[in-house]
Structures are given as structure tokens and as C-alpha cells.
Amino acid sequence: MRTLFEPVALGALTAPNRVIMAPMTRGRATRDHIPTAIMAGYYAQRASAGLIISEAIGISRQGLGWPYAPGLWSDEQVEAWTPVTRAVHDRGGRIVAQLWHMGRMAHSALTGEQPVSSSATTTPGDAHTYDGRKPYEVARPLAAEELLDIAGDYVSAARNAIAAGFDGVQIHPANGQLIDQFLRNNSNLRSDDYGGSIKNRLRLLKLVTRAVASAIGAGRTSVRLSPNGETYGVDDSDPTPLFTAAADLLNTIGIAFLELKEASPAGTFVSTEVPRQSPMMRKYFKGPLVLNSDYDLARAQADLDSGLADAISFGRPFLANPDLVRRLQDRAPLNPAEESTLYSQGAEGYTDYPTLPDIRAVA
């Protein structure tokens, strides 16, 4: 029987345990999207994770519409990421960079241009900007030639990630972001080679994943999908054929691992009645499968035992418990995550969550 605390090969990487840190945007970079020193401390505190998947990192100014989120398109950003990855490695950890283009979720107040997407659609609700919340804007449909440039931006961000010392990257076609806007049929209304059939809607995912894998190696390239339920207005009327085809495609490319963020009816992050797709996708994706959302120790071990998952990624539990691996191992209680400081700047609710020894020292 495999336990959460045994090693697992994830492509070119070996994780010493199967407790992965899920990607989480924390808004601690500068206004110009440059990583800051405090981020090195935050990630280093969590270096006992089998693998850290970083917060989403913008591949281009066009694709980054989140205040104080970091990017990876300039030399200055590469230089500023280097101490972050070094701090994780110095503590014995591993970290991959989640690469992000938000598509229609970006806002001109941050990017200086109309957001882009598969089609002229609008994300429901309001975007976060430096001047508070503003309604999302209608997107400009991308021309087919521009998609080659976007794949090029993914490749340069992936090369920059390796130059900055990351151990690999995770492409982010989940959660209603740009590639997800091409995958699912309520946001992709195109009639060219990138729209309509499942094969066509998968084309951008294929283009980007192949390009990144050939630039930095498939063994250092992973992908995250959120196959069940709506996120930021992006949804598909028939997810199983789409996401089993995506699993098959990614299996053929031979990526390092596939991570699935799956909602459930009682989900505390996102809830949905649409069934989990992992049991069906597992039949097509033969590489390591990492599952996420609302896991605790018992559920995590059950999904390893059944063979559904090879590892589990934890979001909020890792955010609030830098020593999560140890706590799960000791069956110790967990600190709850504080909502008000999720995206605030500074150390509060970021690097000041106590570890078990901290708590015992003051008890």
C-alpha cells in the first residue's frame, strides 16, 4: 500500500512525499509584477512539500490581470525569482512555476489593452484592479496567427522559469483562464480550426504543451485542468468526451504529471453537481495523476489506496500550515486559513502562520 509519505516520480523530478502544494495566487509581488524578498521566505517555509506548485505567474503583460501578481517575461523578473527558488532548494525542496494567461479575465486597467479570448465573450462579475473592483470587459477574439505568439510567450516564460532556477513548469488551462476559454464550449464560439469540434478546441492546449515540452523537456512540463463544473463563467455542456480527449493528448505528449482541480457538491472552494472526471480521465492518462480540492488525510489516503491518484495537492491547508506534511504525518490539528489576508500585501497571513514547534513553544 502506498502512503502519502512515500516518494513518487513526477517526470524528471522525484518528490520525497505525495503531499503537493497547490498553486495559490497571493499578491505579494510589486505593482510592476516583480517578485519580492518576502516570497522567498513564504515558499522556503513550505519546502517540505513533495513539490511546490507556485502561484500563477503571468507569461506576458497582456495575460496578467491580477494586482501584485508576479510575472516571468522580463530579465528583472527572472533575477527576482532566483532567490525564491534558491531559498526553496536550500531547504531541500522543489518548486515548479505555474504559467498563466488569463485571457478575458484580464482587465485593461492592468494590461493597458482590451482583454483577449477565444471569442467575444465577457467574464461575469468584477475584476480586481488597483482601483478596486471593475466590471470585466468584453474580450477581443484572438486571430489564429496570434495564438502562435501566445504559445511563444509560454515558451519564453518556461525558459525564463528554468533560468530562474525553477525545477519545471505547470501550464494553467484550468479555472476559466485563457486555454480553458478555448477548451470549453460555452466560451469558445469559433468556427475556425480552433473552435467547434473537440479536436479543434484542444488545439491551443496541444500547441502550447508541445511547444513548452520541446523547449524545456516533457519531464519538466505539467498541466492543471479543472474538468467539472463552471469557473468564472467558463463551462462545457459535455465534459467527459472533452476531458478524456485532453487526458489522452497529454498522455501522448508524455508530460511529467497532470493535476486536476475537481469540485464536489459540498466543495468549499467551488461546488458543483457535475461528477468528478478523474475516474474517466485516469483510463487515458497513464502518467502521475495529482488530485486536488477539499482533501484531508483520510480522503487523500483513500484516493491513493484505490489507485485513482498518485499524489494529492493541498491549497488552503498548505497556505495556513507551513509544516503541513509533518502535521498530516503526526495527525496534528491544522491552523485555519484567514480569508482577509489571502491577497493582502505584507507578512500578515503570509509568513506568520505558526508551525507545531512554534505553537508548542508558547503553550
Ligand X SMILES: Cc1cc2nc3c(=O)[nH]c(=O)nc-3n(C[C@H](O)[C@H](O)[C@H](O)COP(=O)(O)O)c2cc1C
Interface positions with ligand X (CB under 6 A): 22-25, 55-56, 98, 172, 174-175, 224, 261, 269, 292-295, 314-317, 342
Contact assessment for residue 188 and residue 194, using Cβ atoms and an 8 Å cutoff: yes
Identify how many contiguous H helices and E strands the chain contains and give both numbers: 13, 14
| Helix spans in 174-296 (H) | 178-183, 198-201, 203-216, 239-253, 278-282
- Taking the complex as a whole, the smallest distance from the CB of residue 58 to ligand X amounts, in Å, to 11
Judged by beta carbon, residue 24 or residue 109, the one nearer ligand X is 24
CB 280, CB 222: distance < 8 Å: no
Q: In whole angstroms, how close is the CB of 259 to ligand X at the nearest point?
A: 8
Distance CA 217, CA 215 (A): 6
Q: Which is nearer to ligand X, 56 or 161 (CB)?
A: 56
For residue 29, the minimal CB distance to ligand X (Å) is 12
The one-character DSSP state at 241 is: H
The CB-of-222 to ligand X minimum distance in angstroms stands at: 12
What residue has cell string 496541444? 206
Other beta carbons within 10 angstroms of residue 340's beta carbon come to 8
Kindly tell me which of 25 and 222 has the beta carbon lying closer to ligand X: 25
Least gap, CB of 88 to ligand X (angstroms): 17
Query: What's the min distance (Å) between Cβ of 246 and ligand X?
Result: 16
Using the minimum distance from each CB to ligand X, give the nearer residue, 141 or 304.
304
| Nearest residue to ligand X on Cβ basis | 315
Q: For residue 92, how many C-alpha atoms fall within 13 Å in the half-sphere facing its CB? A: 6
- Report d(CA 91, CA 88) in Å as an integer: 5
Question: Are β-strands 289-292 and 311-314 bridged in parallel, bridged antiparallel, or unpaired?
Answer: parallel
Q: How far is the CB of 210 from ligand X (least distance, A)?
A: 21
248-272 as b/e: b if 16+ CB within 10 A: ebbeebebbbbbbbbbbeeeeebeb
Question: Which is nearer to ligand X, 164 or 324 (by Cβ)?
Answer: 324
Q: Which is nearer to ligand X, 109 or 337 (CB)?
A: 337
* Closer by beta carbon to ligand X, 109 or else 320: 320
Q: Which is closer to ligand X, CB of 172 or CB of 282?
A: 172
Comparing CB distances to ligand X, the nearer of 105 and 164 is 105
Q: What is the Rg, in whole angstroms, of the alpha carbon atoms belonging to the chain?
A: 19
**Vertex 276: Cα angle to 274 and 277 (nearest 5):** 110
Q: How far is the CB of 323 from ligand X (least distance, A)?
A: 16
Q: Is 148 left (phi over 0), alpha (psi -120 to 50) or beta?
A: alpha
Residue that has been written with the C-alpha cell 484550468 in this structure: 174
d(CA 256, CA 240): 22
Q: How far is the CB of 315 from ligand X (least distance, A)?
A: 3
